[in-house]
Structure 1
C-alpha cells in the first residue's frame, strides 16, 4: 500500500515510559517520511529513556512534556493538541498509562490531552509478559476497548526484562501499515455492526484435574474474528482455552465450559448484528463434577454424561434482527448434515467442512468449506483460514445486500 494516504494527516504520538521508547522514535520517523504531520507528547518517565530533542528533530515540531508549559500563549496546549489530531496513538503504552486512561485520571500532559480529544485513539501496549497478563491490566484494556479505544496487540519474543513472551511493542513498520489501512478509503461493509464470534473448544470438568474436550485449535474462529474487525465491525471474541494471540481490535472474553460460553454469548446477544458460532462446544458433560481427584480403583470406569445446551439452537430460537452463522465440522455426508443443521437450528448460514480432508479441519492453517444458506450454496477451495474468513464474510454480506455480481 502506498504512503499517500498519510499525507497531510495530523497524528499525535503519545510516548509513555518504557524501554520500547526507542521504537517510538522510529515510528515518528516513519510517519514523518510517509507525509504525516506528527506531534509528540512524552510522559516524564519517557524522557528518562530518550530526550525530547530526538522526537523534535524527527517530527520537526515542538515536543510536549508538561501540562503547564504553554508554548503558544494564544491557545491552551492540551486542548489545541486534542483538537488538532486526526488520530492519536500511544506507543509504547505502559500499564500505568493504560490504568490512568481506563479510570479517567488526567495528571500529566498525555492523559489530559487524551481525555480532551474526540479523535480516534489507538493504544499499543508494551510491558513485561506477566504485567500484560495481570487481571487489572486486562480489566483496564477491556474498559478502554468498551470506551472506543483501539488496540495494537504486542508481539511475542525476547523482552528487555529477560523473559520471553507477549509484551513487545509492535514493530513501527506494522503500526504504520495499520494506520495506512485506517486512513484508506476502502469500504468497510461491517462498519457500525456488532459481531460476536465463538471459538475454540470447551472443557467439561470431571474432577479438579480432568476434563472432557476436543481437538479444536480455535484457529478458524480467531480468523473469523480478525476478519470481522478488519471489515469494520465491533468484534467480541468469546473463546474457549486455546494458545493463540488475540487479533488486533478484537475484544476477547475467555471461558472454559459450554455453560460459561452460553451465558457469555447471551449477555451480548440482544444488540448483536451477526453471531458466528465457530466454537466446537462439547455435546455432553459429566452429570456430576467430583470435588476431589478421582482415584484409580478398577480396570473399568463409567462416567455418566448429560447433554449440554445447544448454543446455536438456543440462539436460533431467540434471534430477531441477528444474522446467525454456524459451522458444521463433519466426517461424512457433509452437505446433507449441514443443510439439516441449517433448518433444525434456524440459522441463516452454515459453513460446512470435512475435518478428515487434508489441509482442512482442526489445527490446520488452511481450510476447505462450503457456505450454505436457505437458497444459496457456494464452495470455497483450500485457502489460508485468515483469507478464507474474509471471503466468507464478504460473500455473506454481498448476498444479504443483494450485491452478488
Structure 2
C-alpha cells in the first residue's frame, strides 16, 4: 500500500457537502461517484429510517441500481466483512454509501477496501497479505457526529477469534465524499447529544496532544473544542436548534480533519479497549476518560493546554503557564457538571478486575506512538485506576 511522502504535512482528499435538509440531493451528489450502489447500514444504527428512505429514493433516480445491505446487526466482525464484500463483488457495485454512525462507518471503510482486493478480513487486519488495489469509492452520510471517524483514514473492527478491536490506518481509507445533514440527528436523546459532544471534545484533545500535530491541525482541533463548548448545552436544551446541532457536526468534521494528519491518542485507545471489554459504548468511554487523560498529560503538554483553556473561554491572563493549563482541565469539568455527566468508570458498573485487560489491549494500538511522552502499560493502568 502506498504511503505519503514524509514532507507532506497536510492531506485531506474527501469532498464535503454540509447542508441542513440535503438528503434529497444525495443522488445528485453521488451520481459522479458511482452508479451501482450498495447502501449500507448496521441494524443498530439505522436511525431516522425516514431519512434513509429519502436517500435511497434520491440515489435510485440517478443510479443504475441501489441495494440496501443491512445484514450486520451491530458491531461488524471478520465474517460480516467477508460476506458483505463478497456481496458487493457479485453485485458489481462500484460505490458504497454508508448511512449510520461509528460502527456502520468502520464497516463501510473495510468493505470498500476488501471488495477490490483478493483477501479476507483476517488477512487484512493481520497484515498477512498485501493490499494492492484502491477501494471502491465510499460516501459517508453520518446519522450523528462521529467524533471525526466519518472523515478519517482509519478504522477499527472486531476480531472473531479474541473479540478484540483491531486497528488500521491508511490514506486509501479516506471516504470519497461526506454528506452531512444535521437534520438527520433530530431524534437523538439528550444523553446521546451529551456523550457525543464530549466524545468530540475528547477526540479533538487527542489530536492536539499528538506529537505529529502542526499549526494546521491544531487550528482545526481548537476550533472544534470551541464549537462544542459553546453549542453542546443549547443543542440539548433546544431540541429544534439546528444551528447548535450543525455546530456539533462541524466540530466532528474539524476533528476528523485534524486527526487525519496528526493522530488519534490515549483517550481513543483506552476507549476502544473499554468499549470492547465492558458494556460501555465508545462515546461513553471517551466522555468518562477525557478529564483523567488530560490530568495525566498536564505537565508534558502545558503549552497546548493554555490554548485549550482559551478555546473554552477560560481567563488565563496574568497567571503562569501551569495555572493556565489547569484552567483547561477545570473548563472541561465545568461542562461535565453542567451536563451531569459521570466522570467515573465505576458509575457505569465497570468492574475493577477489568482494568488490567483494558490497559493491556490499549497498549497494543500502534497510534500510541504519537503520544507526547512514552507511556508504559503500568502507567496506563494507573490512569484507569484514577478514573475508576
TM-score (norm 2): 0.31
Q: Which has the higher contact order (CA 8 A, sep 6+)?
A: 2
Higher helix share: 2
Higher strand share: 1
